[in-house]
Structure 1
Amino acid sequence: MEEETRPVESQTEEPPGSPWGGWATLGLTAGILFIFVAVSLLIGALFGLVAALEHHKTTMHSIERLIHSRAGLVMALSVLGSAPIGFGVTLLLATLRKNYPLKEYLGFRNVPIRVFLEWLLLLIVFIACWDLLTYALGKPIVLEKMIQAYKTARFLPLFYLAIVVVGPIFEETLMRGFLFQGIRSSPLGATGAVVVTAFLWALLHMGYGAYGFLQILLAGLLLGIVRLRSASTYVTIGLHMFMNMVATIETAVVIHMR
């Protein structure tokens, strides 16, 4: 009686990979954000030290005033220094999952330009409706915090690069890429991924107050839906860049009108 044999391919074929688990994803995301914040604070401290030595400031109060007068520049330098590191750590952690393609994990997928334009149109409607609501409620469309950052940016091209380009690339790769896919593969599923990423993203912007938190939460839910429907983080990166560009231009307009 002949012994039944299986094809060699079936014996050596590796099982398909998967993202980090839900809890592991949350923990690793917290670690990435910790690194991002730590590097940002370090850059701010180094800037303050160098500026203090240059201007012969010796007291903590005078150093704080010096940093405050250049808050926008410090913000830009912090983002430009910390975001690439956070982005790199995110890529590294994603590549540690064997047999799971990096592009699939982080949603690095090209889509037809028509798809992007359709979502962009929806985002424009969202921004317009929110600005109209904000105006009707008598609230400022541009927060004073953003105005002061813009005024103290010193070198606007650097400010735009940080806020409109570098920041969104890192945030979307982490939030709608790494975190989204990990939560989506957990028992929370796709709906949980949309909600959790939006909520955590809004928490990162608590400095904008309760109303600003609500705006960012809703924008995050929209970006999560876009990520789910388009299967592409490239789309959410583009939309995030557009949102930040609009916010920055609105800031410039408000300053010009004063």
Structure 2
Amino acid sequence: MDSLNPDLPPMTVTPAAPRVWKFWGTAVWGLLIFVAMFLGQVGAILYLAWDRGDPLDLMSIQRVGREPAALALSVTMGLPATLAAVWLAIRIKKASFVDYLALHWPSWKQMLFGAIGLVLIVVAWETMSRSLGREATPGFMTDLLKSGRDKGAAVMLLFAFSVAAPMSEEVLARGFLFRGWSASFLRVPGAIILSSLVWTVVHLQYDMYFLAEVFSIGLWFGYMRYRANSLWLTIVLHALNNLTAVVLTMWLGN
């Protein structure tokens, strides 16, 4: 009973439902976000082909898309498309963009811990690659980066693979997908695994060996996203990983 009015029972406050997409909502929106990313990337190639007066057919698109500068622009244009689609999905839920994606800056201890773990994983795969006589970097990526360096597109490629790609992929995988799936029946472990699988699928241009490496790194990123509650942490780790690979490949290339 209400102590101020004995005739009325005390009021109870029903907690508001969390403003987050659950399993299927996250899955559907995740697909739409990926499509938006893809359209942003393809749109850049189509624009370049149109600007040159090339016919907008499959052969022209493939020819333009193999050029280092064009590919760099394509990867870069996937970022605004991804952010726009994610913003729309979160806006519909009337949730905070920053809180939904955990865009909180991590502590230096968390950053250091995440970096050490990433280095150990990369070194382990590097050692395994050497023992198996495999390339540490996929051959087509090595050729692309060397070609870009020789054709004056090094800075564009560096930005595309070390800034735009990590942000796009992390916002989708460890940001939007992890947030929704971790609030579903999957809970945190399932969200880490499934979001890592999706992130791995995005890299299907690699063979199974490199896909296994991508998946293992994705698991670490997912754990750090959960541990630090910070998407910025995984964006930075992802960017550092790509930056190191791009710089070393260009620098070691003859």
TM over 0.5: yes
Alignment-mate amino acid for residue 161 of structure 2: I
> Given the two structures, how large is their TM-score scaled by the length of structure 1?
0.86
Between 246-255 and 82-91, report the one with greater CA deviation. 246-255
Contact 1:183–1:189, Cα closer than 8 Å, also in 2: yes
1:4 corresponds to which residue?
A: 8
Contact 1:206–1:213, Cα closer than 8 Å, also in 2: yes
1:36 corresponds to which residue?
A: 37
Alignment-mate amino acid for residue 121 of structure 1: I
Select which of 153, 172, 186 maps to 1:188. 186
Contact 1:36–1:86, Cα closer than 8 Å, also in 2: yes
Alignment-mate amino acid for residue 112 of structure 1: S
Q: Distance in 1 between matches of 2:228 and 2:235?
A: 12
Q: Distance in 1 between matches of 2:205 and 2:6?
A: 74
1:114 corresponds to which residue?
A: 109
Q: Distance in 1 between matches of 2:241 and 2:32?
A: 26
Runs of 4+ in 1 over 6 A off after TM superposition: 57-62
Q: Structure 2 unaligned runs (5+)? A: none
1:20 corresponds to which residue?
A: 21
1:103 corresponds to which residue?
A: 98
Q: Percent identity?
A: 21
> 1:151 Cα shift?
3.2
2:247 corresponds to which residue?
A: 249
2:144 corresponds to which residue?
A: 149
Q: C-alpha offsets along residues 104-136 of structure 1, whole Å, 9 cap, x if unaligned?
A: 321112221121011111111111121111111
1:140 corresponds to which residue?
A: 135
2:77 corresponds to which residue?
A: 81
> 1:142 Cα shift?
1.8
1:174 corresponds to which residue?
A: 172
- SS of the aligned residue for 1:129 comes to helix
Q: Structure 1 unaligned runs (5+)? A: none
- SS of the aligned residue for 1:167 comes to helix
> 1:158 Cα shift?
1.5
Alignment-mate amino acid for residue 67 of structure 1: V
- SS of the aligned residue for 1:133 comes to helix
User: Of Structure 1 and Structure 2, which has the larger fraction of its residues in helix?
Assistant: 1
1:165 corresponds to which residue?
A: 163
CA RMSD of aligned residues (A): 2.4
Select which of 84, 90, 110 maps to 2:86. 90
> 1:170 Cα shift?
1.7
Q: Distance in 2 between matches of 1:152 and 1:234?
A: 31
Q: C-alpha offsets along residues 185-205 of structure 1, whole Å, 9 cap, x if unaligned?
A: 111111110000100100000
1:228 corresponds to which residue?
A: 226
> Given the two structures, how large is their TM-score scaled by the length of structure 2?
0.88
Cα 1:132–1:21 change in 2 (3 A) is same
Q: Distance in 1 between matches of 2:73 and 2:141?
A: 16
Q: C-alpha offsets along residues 43-98 of structure 1, whole Å, 9 cap, x if unaligned?
A: 212212333x3xxx67979846852662x212211122121121122122113223
